């Protein structure tokens, strides 16, 4: 793992931007993307740049079940707002939160991933070490699947909703095995509340109890962390 320590999230966004600029300049074809607070500053920089994504396909990690793309809390909406409306991609895939058959949709999503091998996968990390919505205990062999969110994740996501009762309790997520197929992985983590998860990811045992620890098994992982997130390393 290559660890890049930065002073603050703004510097992290700049370092991440440089990685994307370089990837685009080298003809990257498929980007795996994430939502959440962490990548917003990066998406802002990408949106304001002159980079051209019209030949790039994007594949997002996850989506809440029960929310359609017009719902402001959906991840499809988030991606449109923060990136796709300003930077059109050749094609952008986000799991469908309102499909009639979630299992069939999951199989189809894995098919999309295998037809569009991910060159660079962006990840955030949950306070419990989740990546995508792969919660602790998710098998490392998992492919795209329906997830029952843990209370810790529901609590963390509540900040984006008016009422806690509006926070979805289920999501559909790329699996850990799906994430691990990416040629390169870039994980961003900022803030003291990520420090335990970062330490367990980098120095802890590789265990399904800390989903991100699987990244120790991947050859090309870069982690950008600020001082607060690096506190326990
Ligand atoms: C989002 C995702 C999640 C987040 C994680 C961190 O697509 O897959 O794993 O990356 O929950 O969220 P933030 O960035 O809001 O702290």
What are 175-230's pLDDT values in tens digits? 999 999 999 999 999 999 999 999 999 999 999 999 999 999 999 999 999 999 99
Residue 191 belongs to domain spanning: 2-226
- How far is residue 14's CA from residue 8's CA, in Å, rounded to a whole number? 10
Residue 231 within any structural domain of the chain: no
Residue whose C-alpha is closest to residue 62's, from 78, 81, 50: 78
What are 17-61's pLDDT values in tens digits? 999 999 999 999 999 999 999 999 999 999 999 999 999 999 999
**Is there an atom of ligand 1 within 6 Å of 63 CB?**
no
pLDDT for the residue numbered 230: 98
Nearest residue by C-alpha to atom 12 in ligand 1? 36
Q: How many domains does the chain have?
A: 1
Q: Complex ipTM, two decimals? A: 0.99
What are 126-175's pLDDT values in tens digits? 999 999 999 999 999 999 999 999 898 888 888 888 888 889 999 999 99
Residue 109 within any structural domain of the chain: yes
Residue 232 within any structural domain of the chain: no
Residue 76 within any structural domain of the chain: yes
Residue 155 within any structural domain of the chain: yes
CATH number (domain holding residue 164): 3.40.50.1360
Residue 38 within any structural domain of the chain: yes
Residue 206 within any structural domain of the chain: yes
Q: How distant, in Å, are the alpha carbons of 2, 128, 154, 155 from that of 159?
A: 31, 17, 9, 8
Residue whose C-alpha is closest to residue 118's, from 215, 33, 216, 2: 33
What are 208-220's pLDDT values in tens digits? 999 999 999 999 9
Catalytic annotation present for 119: no
Query: What pTM value is reported for the model?
Result: 0.97
Catalytic annotation present for 62: yes
């Amino acid at each position: 793992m290559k660890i890049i320590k930065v002073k603050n999230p703004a510097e992290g966004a700049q370092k991440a931007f440089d990685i994307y600029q370089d990837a685009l300049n080298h003809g990257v074809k498929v980007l795996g993307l994430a939502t959440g607070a962490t990548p917003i500053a990066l998406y802002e920089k990408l949106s304001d740049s002159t980079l051209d994504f019209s030949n790039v396909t994007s594949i997002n990690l996850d989506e809440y079940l029960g929310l359609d793309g017009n719902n402001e809390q959906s991840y499809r909406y988030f991606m449109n707002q923060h990136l796709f409306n300003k930077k059109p991609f050749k094609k952008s895939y986000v799991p469908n939160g309102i499909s009639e058959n979630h299992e069939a949709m999951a199989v189809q999503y894995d098919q999309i991933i295998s037809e569009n091998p991910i060159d660079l996968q962006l990840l955030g990390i949950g306070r419990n070490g989740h990546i995508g919505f792969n919660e602790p205990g998710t098998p490392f062999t998992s492919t795209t699947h329906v997830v029952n969110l843990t209370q810790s994740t529901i609590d963390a996501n509540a900040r984006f909703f008016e009422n806690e009762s509006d926070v979805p309790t289920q999501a559909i997520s790329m699996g850990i095995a799906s994430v691990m197929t990416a040629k390169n992985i870039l994980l961003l983590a900022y803030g003291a509340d990520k420090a335990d998860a970062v330490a367990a990811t980098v120095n802890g045992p590789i265990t399904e109890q800390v989903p991100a620890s699987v990244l120790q098994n991947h050859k090309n992982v870069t982690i950008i962390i600020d001082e607060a997130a690096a506190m326990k390393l």
